[in-house]
Structures are given as structure tokens and as C-alpha cells.
Amino acid sequence: MLAIFRALHRRLGMVIVGGLVLVLPCVATAQEPPELQILTESFPPFNYIDDTGELTGQSTEVVRALLERLERSDPITLMPWAEAYDIAVAEPNVVLFSTARTKDRELQFGWVGPIASYHHAFYGRADKPHSIQSLEDARAVAKIGVVRDTARHRFLTQNQFHNVVLFEAEEAMFRALADGEITLALGSSDSVAMAAERAGLGPFSIAEQYPVQEVPLYIAVSRGTSEGELQRWQQALEALKRDGDYAKILAHWGKQLDLAPGTGSGLVAIDGTAVARLMAGLIDTTLAQRLQALEALADTASVQAGEWEDIQRLLLTQEQQLGAARYWYLLPDGSYYTTVDGLASTNLRDRDYFTDLMDGVPVYGSFVHSRSTGRDAAVVAAPIFTDNEVVGALGASVFLRDLSADLQRNISPPPRTLFFAVDDQGLITLHPDAARIGLQASDLDPPLARLSEATDGELNFTHNGRAYRGAWATAALSGWRAVVAQLEEE
């Protein structure tokens, strides 16, 4: 299958060379741009006040470069996050950075970016490490610190953490960690070193215990701001990336450039439906590999005997071989064991796929927000039969961010080509921007609701404020719609 994609990619490259590019004229507008409130918080190294009292940071440099390109002189104001966020939600013509693009914020703002990324992780004292391999482990510690009203705070609330201590700033949180007032701190990979240093801690006093979320950072533009202004900012950012100035800013801050889809050059002429069908087949093949392995294990005597120690050993082997997933063993009452936690404190009876499994029907690609890991995942699971009776199930929660990245690497889509997938409920399951996974596709652009109306077809839609034309096809086993689209020439 991968050989087919590589051959197809070579063919597409030839089409790019010989394809016809239609350049549409830009239409200028005489409308005076509005005055903007540009707000940020202390979030080093992205935005913060340095030792000389100047506002600086990686994202601050990006925003200043955009203001220069947009010929704007709006000042940037630093204030506490909660205050800045409340203003951005309530008032038009507000620009807020650096903002984590999360599911609950998606429809509250327009988005320009991404301008950076990092990951959230649980941190502990280096001299007192904790074995944290899942959210279940983290729930069991005494106290977890987090900064109030941040995306990290919401993550803990949504995942039913009750051992949370709230802080107003990163420095206070890490001082409490050093003093033993909290056991873990939920921090950011890019800001933890500087925040710990500002809290008076040594560079090796804090250690990452468990990563939980990959977080893209954007410039959030408040609702009520004109669509034209939003597009001007996005276009200025893409120009900043194309001409190399963005890369220079990242290099200055010790980062590497990772361009998002849609920022390359050249127009690709492809048979979109044919490529979408190949994509759909690759999705099914990838998930089927895991399901077939689970079905084989479910037929073994050791699994049917129901001895968790034996089952755990078999599942750990699968998890280590295939990676990017959490494996588990489910009992008919909804209780379950995972390879990391053993017997979990939560129950799976309320999951949509539970009834199917207990009726003896395999599960193939059901979207969940994993209770074990806190990550968006696709469930594949096989029932376990003994004397024609279902006595349990073996499952894997396949991490969708990792699956998206793997597929992107394998198919190597041409520049200006976007690939994503949507399940039969309209939820985005695969996307190069991890923040989009789990969102309703139709909330991003209403024409995407058409994906549920037919097994394949063609459509036009907008993505990040830009026009795409694309095609979709349905994966036969998972029911996911694979979408392949190319950026319309501007």
C-alpha cells in the first residue's frame, strides 16, 4: 500500500511541473483597518518582561513582525491571563497571544497561526520522581498544581481531577512544588525551565514525569472583528513564513521551523476522488493491523482464562511493537484493566461501543477521549468468546495525534494539499493540526456537513480562512471519510 502512495506521489510531482496555475488578481480594499487591543500574558519564552523591563519573547517577535508588515502601530499590553482572556471574549477588535487552540475555545475566536507549539506535562521534583504513566496515576497523587483559568486547568477539570491546587502564576506554582506543598505541577514544556528559574530553582531541580497534550499556539482574534482583518493577519503570517523571516525568529529562540499545510508553493492537479479512496484504504489498513492482532490474542487460551497477569504480558508486547496506543482488557460489567494502571477506577459501560462488544461485534475506529491517557483516540477492540458467550474484550485506544503524524509522513502530501478524516458522526479524527481533532467538521465550515450525506463526492470549503477544493471517500471498515483537498490559487 505504501508503495502505491510513493508511486502516486511521484506522479503528482510530475503533474505539478506540467500543471496549469491560474493566478487570480487581488482586490484591494479602501476600508480603514480598525484599532486593535493587542493583549498578552507573562508566558516565557513566548511572551514576558525581561530583566531590562522590556516585553520580549518568541511570539512577541512574531506579532511585532506581523504588525510591521500590516503597517500597524497598535501597542501590545501585558496583563494577567484571566483578565486578557475575559476582554478578548467580551469585546470586538481584540488580538490575544499566545493562545492555546483547544476544542472549547474553537468557536470563541478567529485564529491566526500556528505561531508556535509545545506540550503540557506533569512535572515533579527531580529528587523525588514519581512513576506517572497515565492519568490514573496522576489522579492518585496528593496535590497537583496548575495556573488558574488556563487550558491546563480546563484539561484537569474535564478529566475529573479532584486533587488540584490553583495558582495565579507559573513561578508561584513551581515554588510550591519545590517546597513540597504540591506533588506535581501541570506545566508547559517551553516555559517550565524559565518559570522554574524565576522561582529561584536550579536548572536540574524539576523533571518531566508524563506528557499529556500537544498544544499548538495561535493568535486569537475576538469575535466581532472583521473577517477581512482576520485574513490580513493570516496572510501576513504566511508571507512571514514563506520569505524566511519566521524561520529567523525561531532560530533566534532555538526552535526549528515546521510549516503547516497550505504554505508551500505550486498548484497540484489530481484525481481527488481516486486519491481519497487510497487514503481511506490506508486508514482501514492501519487500524485493521491492530484489530487483527487483538482478535488473534482473544482466541488464545490464556486470554479466555481471564488471568490479568497473562493478558497484561500479551498486551504489553503488542503495545511495544505497534506503539502510539494504550491497550486494555474489558470485563462484562464495564470494569477494565490497562497495561499501565491495572484495574482502572472508571467504568466503560457508558461508552457507545460497549454494547456492540458485549453483543460480540468487533469495534473499529470509535472516537473517544481516553480516560486512561487523556488523549483523543480511536478504539479498536475484539470480543472474547468462551463457549459462544462473550466474557470480555481486548482493545486498543490508538492515539489520533500520532496516527495523523504517521500517515502524513507515509503519504508525504504535496505542498498546498490538505489531508484529514472525519468519522460517521462528523467528528474530525485525523488532521495535521492536532487541535482540530475531536471537533465537528461542520463547525469549522458548514459545507463540511456534506461529508455525512454520501460515501464519496467533491466539495469546496474554507480552512484557516482560505479556499480549498477537495474530494472525499469513505473507508469501508471504519466508516471514516478521508478528505483530500488542494488550496485554490489566490
Each residue's pLDDT tens digit, 304-316: 999 999 999 999 9
Residues near 109 by beta carbon (within 8 Å), at least 6 away in sequence: 88, 96, 99, 220, 221, 222, 223
Grid cell for residue 313: 504480558
Distance separating alpha carbons of residues 487 and 484, to the nearest angstrom: 10
Q: What is the pLDDT, as a whole number, of residue 258?
A: 38
The residue written with cell numbers 507559573 in the block is 170
CB 402 within 8 A of CB 313: no
In this predicted structure, the answer to whether residue 268 has a pLDDT above a threshold of 60 is: no
The confidence score (pLDDT) of residue 22 equals: 30
- Secondary element (H or E) of residue 15: helix 2-18
Q: Which of 490, 488, 487, 489 is nearest to 415 (CA)?
A: 487
| 334 confidence band (pLDDT: 50, 70, 90) | very high
C-alpha grid cell, residue 356 = 456492540
Strands 325-330 and 336-338, how do they pair?
A: antiparallel
Q: Which residue, 399, 390, 401, is CA-closest to 319?
A: 399
Q: What integer is the mean pLDDT of 367-385? A: 90
Taking 60 as the threshold, does the pLDDT of residue 12 lie above it?
no
pLDDT band at 176 (very low <50, low <70, confident <90, very high): very high
For 306, which DSSP code? T
pLDDT at site 203: 60
Give 412's pLDDT tier (boundaries 50, 70, 90): low
pLDDT of residue 58: 92
pLDDT in tens, 273-327: 777 887 888 888 888 888 888 998 999 998 999 999 999 999 999 888 887 899 9
Supply the pLDDT for residue 454.
85
Rounded Cα gap, residues 331 and 236, in angstroms: 54
**Which of the given ranges, 56-60, 128-132, 150-154, 263-267, has the highest pLDDT on average?**
56-60
Q: What is residue 367's predicted lDDT score, i.e. its pLDDT?
A: 93
Q: How many other β-carbons are positioned within 10 Å of the β-carbon of residue 72?
A: 16
3-state class percentages of the chain: helix first, strand second, coil last, to nearest 5: 35, 30, 35
Name the β-bridge partners of 172: none
Examine the pLDDT at 370 and tell me if it is beyond 90. no
Domains, the chain: 2-116+216-252 (3.40.190.10), 282-401 (3.30.450.20)
Query: What are the grid coordinates assigned to 166, written together?
Result: 490553583
Residues paired with 124 in a beta bridge: 207
Mean local confidence (pLDDT), 17-29 = 35
116-129 mean pLDDT: 84
Confidence at residue 490, expressed as pLDDT on a 0 to 100 scale: 55
Whether 482 has a pLDDT exceeding 50, the answer reads: yes
Beta bridge partners of 125: 206
Largest separation between any pair of C-alpha atoms in the chain: 77
Whether the pLDDT of residue 30 is over 50: the answer is no
Mean per-residue pLDDT of the chain = 83
Q: At what angle do helices 272-298 and 400-411 cross, to 10 degrees?
A: 130
Question: What is the per-residue pLDDT for 271?
Answer: 56
Q: What angle do CA 359, 365, 370 make, to 5 degrees?
A: 95
Which three cell numbers mark 341? 494502571
Non-local CB neighbours of 388 within 8 Å, separated by 6+ positions: none
